[in-house]
Amino acid sequence: MAAPRKIRTAVLASFEASAAITAADAGAQLLALTYADAIDMAKAAGDAGTLTKALYLGPHLLNVLRALGCTPDGREAAAPDTETDSAAAALANLQAEANA
Protein backbone atom coordinates (compact mmCIF):
# COMPACT_ATOMS: atom_id res chain seq x y z
CA MET A 1 0.00 0.00 0.00
CA ALA A 2 1.34 3.44 -0.92
CA ALA A 3 2.04 5.89 1.86
CA PRO A 4 -0.58 8.60 2.42
CA ARG A 5 0.55 11.88 0.95
CA LYS A 6 -1.39 14.33 3.08
CA ILE A 7 1.29 17.01 3.26
CA ARG A 8 2.05 16.74 -0.48
CA THR A 9 -1.67 16.94 -1.27
CA ALA A 10 -2.05 20.06 0.88
CA VAL A 11 1.02 21.69 -0.69
CA LEU A 12 -0.30 20.99 -4.19
CA ALA A 13 -3.67 22.47 -3.20
CA SER A 14 -1.88 25.60 -2.00
CA PHE A 15 -0.05 25.87 -5.32
CA GLU A 16 -3.33 25.49 -7.22
CA ALA A 17 -5.03 28.18 -5.13
CA SER A 18 -2.21 30.69 -5.41
CA ALA A 19 -2.50 33.36 -8.05
CA ALA A 20 1.06 34.52 -7.36
CA ILE A 21 2.96 31.40 -8.47
CA THR A 22 4.55 31.51 -11.92
CA ALA A 23 6.75 29.19 -13.97
CA ALA A 24 9.75 30.97 -12.46
CA ASP A 25 8.82 29.41 -9.11
CA ALA A 26 9.32 25.81 -10.29
CA GLY A 27 12.48 25.32 -8.22
CA ALA A 28 10.84 26.52 -5.02
CA GLN A 29 7.80 24.37 -5.77
CA LEU A 30 10.01 21.31 -6.22
CA LEU A 31 11.80 22.07 -2.96
CA ALA A 32 8.48 22.36 -1.12
CA LEU A 33 7.28 19.04 -2.57
CA THR A 34 10.56 17.38 -1.59
CA TYR A 35 10.10 18.53 2.00
CA ALA A 36 6.45 17.43 1.94
CA ASP A 37 7.34 13.99 0.58
CA ALA A 38 10.04 13.49 3.24
CA ILE A 39 7.56 14.31 6.01
CA ASP A 40 4.86 12.08 4.49
CA MET A 41 7.27 9.15 4.07
CA ALA A 42 8.59 9.52 7.62
CA LYS A 43 5.06 9.54 9.01
CA ALA A 44 4.16 6.43 7.00
CA ALA A 45 7.28 4.63 8.25
CA GLY A 46 5.89 4.75 11.76
CA ASP A 47 9.30 5.17 13.37
CA ALA A 48 9.24 7.93 15.99
CA GLY A 49 12.90 8.85 15.48
CA THR A 50 12.54 9.17 11.72
CA LEU A 51 9.38 11.22 12.08
CA THR A 52 11.01 13.53 14.63
CA LYS A 53 13.90 14.18 12.24
CA ALA A 54 11.52 14.78 9.33
CA LEU A 55 9.44 17.23 11.34
CA TYR A 56 12.50 19.47 11.52
CA LEU A 57 11.72 20.09 7.83
CA GLY A 58 8.40 21.68 8.82
CA PRO A 59 9.78 25.20 9.34
CA HIS A 60 11.74 24.92 6.08
CA LEU A 61 8.60 23.85 4.22
CA LEU A 62 6.67 26.71 5.80
CA ASN A 63 9.37 29.19 4.72
CA VAL A 64 9.18 27.99 1.11
CA LEU A 65 5.38 28.21 1.16
CA ARG A 66 5.64 31.71 2.66
CA ALA A 67 8.07 32.79 -0.07
CA LEU A 68 5.63 31.49 -2.70
CA GLY A 69 2.74 33.44 -1.17
CA CYS A 70 0.97 30.28 0.02
CA THR A 71 0.54 31.35 3.66
CA PRO A 72 -1.47 34.23 5.12
CA ASP A 73 1.64 36.25 6.02
CA GLY A 74 3.26 35.36 2.69
CA ARG A 75 0.22 36.70 0.83
CA GLU A 76 0.21 39.83 2.98
CA ALA A 77 3.88 40.49 2.24
CA ALA A 78 3.30 39.96 -1.50
CA ALA A 79 0.24 42.20 -1.66
CA PRO A 80 0.81 45.58 -3.25
CA ASP A 81 1.06 48.42 -0.78
CA THR A 82 -1.72 50.63 -2.14
CA GLU A 83 -0.85 53.45 0.25
CA THR A 84 2.75 53.57 -0.99
CA ASP A 85 1.64 53.08 -4.60
CA SER A 86 -0.84 55.97 -4.41
CA ALA A 87 1.72 58.21 -2.72
CA ALA A 88 4.25 57.42 -5.45
CA ALA A 89 1.64 58.16 -8.12
CA ALA A 90 0.76 61.47 -6.47
CA LEU A 91 4.44 62.43 -6.32
CA ALA A 92 4.90 61.50 -9.99
CA ASN A 93 1.90 63.67 -10.91
CA LEU A 94 3.27 66.63 -8.95
CA GLN A 95 6.67 66.26 -10.62
CA ALA A 96 5.05 66.06 -14.05
CA GLU A 97 3.02 69.20 -13.34
CA ALA A 98 6.11 71.05 -12.10
CA ASN A 99 8.06 70.10 -15.23
CA ALA A 100 5.22 71.05 -17.60
C-alpha closest to that of 36 among 28, 46, 48: 28
Residue 1 has pLDDT above 60, yes or no: no
- Give the integer Cα–Cα distance in Å for 1 and 45: 12
Residue 81 has pLDDT above 70, yes or no: no
Task: Note whether 68 and 11 are within 8 A (CB).
Answer: no
Residue 84 has pLDDT above 70, yes or no: no
What is the per-residue DSSP string for 61-81?
HHHHHHHTT-SHHHHHHHS--
Confidence of residue 85 (pLDDT cuts 50, 70, 90): low
pLDDT for residue 83: 61
Residue 16 has pLDDT above 70, yes or no: yes
Report pLDDT digits (tens) over 35-75: 999 999 999 998 999 999 999 999 999 999 999 999 988 88
In the three-class reduction of DSSP (H, G, I as helix; E, B as strand; rest coil), residue 80 is classed as coil
Average pLDDT along the chain: 88
- With pLDDT > 70 as the criterion, what percentage of the chain qualifies? 90
Measured between its terminal Cα atoms, the distance across the chain in Å is 73
